[in-house]
Amino acid sequence: MKNTSINCGIVAEDVRKLSRTQWLELRRQSLGGSDISAALGLNRWRSPMEVWAEKVGLPLPRQETPEACRWGILLEEVVRAELAERTGWTIQKPVAMYRHRTIPFLSANVDGLAQIPEKGLAVVEIKTASSYKESEWSGGQVPPEYYLQGQHYMSVLDLRHCVFACLLGGQKLVIAEMERDDDMIRDIHRLATEFWNHVVAKIPPDPDGSEATADFLSKLFPVSENAVPLILPERADELVLNWLSAKNEEDLAADRRMLAENELKLLLQDHERAVTPKGQAISWKTVTTSRLDSARLKKEQPALLEQYTTTASSRRFAVSGKHIQ
């Protein structure tokens, strides 16, 4: 079936006319394409807790736009024009913010809409990435978080095709097409609804074990200001047991790994590389590094050391078997 037009609601006719404050407030009221994978717990850089905090309006530390994101914004028009030139497609840049026709908390701001012969209207998404990410775009595939973003956009606009154009390393354009997956979209809708219920109720989703969640919690509570011991709920004892059990397993695994490593080093002796009978490659290379002799610098040039010393604070998590008095 070939779609020739979108079928959705409109949140804002022209986002260019909105102030940054108005734009951020509109974004806060729904799940957009950049939110969906994080809300579902499938994003490497953002956690569900962070998305929830943004949507309920918690005051969060202001973050500077990463350099890579800034260049991605600046190069969007260039990549879109090159995609049109290479394919011959007519590509428009929508200025509206769209919403799903029956699920109002699902929204979309797409980078383009293309008329593709034999397929009809398609979503266009523009990305830029380091050349180190090339393997994630090989063979016509797209990274998982972008796959979800594409399915989300096709759902909101009621389209059946999506095209990603990714500029790798500033010098290689990769074009990947995907088709609508209705089973996947049903799962997205179900999980997004579960997440949005947390937003409406202002009850945070359960934390997961990702680095993204750990980073977010460190940003949300950067400094320990209250020295009075807090009496935790009963489930905290179970969590402590889980933490201690995992820590013990981790320590045992580290011991096993170090034992195997030391035995292999004994077999290698002064050889840099070796191969096992089954073809496993092993190396024990000499690596030369340069390090600052801070002890000597402190002794001979203490004023200079103090001049270039910076202080940073962070919070260190620990579980102790001792009761706090």
pLDDT tens-place string over residues 259-277:
999 999 999 999 999 999 9
Q: Phi and psi at residue 146, in whole multiples of 5°?
A: -80, -30
Task: State the amino acid at position 200 in one-letter form.
Answer: V
The pLDDT value recorded for residue 66 is: 76
Least confident of 113-122, 182-191, 285-294, 311-320: 311-320
Terminal-to-terminal C-alpha distance of the chain: 70
Angle at 22 between CA 20 and CA 27, to 5 degrees: 95
**Confidence bin at 323 (pLDDT 50/70/90):** low
Q: Phi and psi at residue 158, in whole multiples of 5°?
A: 60, 50
Give residue for tokens 């020739």.
4
Q: pTM above the 0.85 mark? A: no
Name the more confident of 38 and 60.
38
Q: Regarding beta strands 112-116 and 97-99, do their DSSP bridges make them parallel or antiparallel, or are they unpaired?
A: unpaired
Angle at 124 between CA 120 and CA 130, to 5 degrees: 150
pLDDT tens-place string over residues 190-240:
999 999 999 999 999 988 888 888 888 887 777 787 778 888 899 899 999
The answer to whether the CB of 171 falls within 8 A of the CB of 207 is: no
Least confident of 66-75, 79-88, 244-253: 66-75
Average pLDDT for 94-118: 95
The answer to whether the CB of 103 falls within 8 A of the CB of 29 is: no
The answer to whether the CB of 137 falls within 8 A of the CB of 144 is: no
- Cα–Cα distance measured from residue 196 to residue 104, given in angstroms and rounded to the nearest whole number: 11
How far, in whole angstroms, is CA 267 from its chain's centroid?
42
* CA-to-CA separations, 169 to 45, 69, 172, 206, in angstroms, rounded: 20, 13, 7, 37
Angle at 304 between CA 296 and CA 290, to 5 degrees: 50
- Cα–Cα distance measured from residue 281 to residue 287, given in angstroms and rounded to the nearest whole number: 18
- Cα–Cα distance measured from residue 228 to residue 176, given in angstroms and rounded to the nearest whole number: 55
- Cα–Cα distance measured from residue 207 to residue 36, given in angstroms and rounded to the nearest whole number: 17
The pLDDT value recorded for residue 226 is: 76
Q: Is the pLDDT of residue 325 over 60?
A: no
Average pLDDT for 26-51: 94
The pLDDT value recorded for residue 1 is: 59
* CA-to-CA separations, 38 to 26, 81, 227, in angstroms, rounded: 18, 29, 33
The pLDDT value recorded for residue 324 is: 52
Beta bridge partners of 259: none
Q: What is the DSSP string of 218-247?
A: HHHS-S----SPP---THHHHHHHHHHHHH
Least confident of 8-17, 46-55, 67-76: 67-76
Sign, CA dihedral 249-254-259-264, equals positive
The pLDDT value recorded for residue 218 is: 84
Q: DSSP alpha helices (H): ranges in 165-222?
A: 182-201, 211-220
**What rounded mean pLDDT belongs to the chain?**
90
Burial readout 256-281 (b: 16 or more C-beta within 10 A, e: otherwise): eeeeeeeeeeeeeeeeeeeeeeeeee
The pLDDT value recorded for residue 70 is: 84
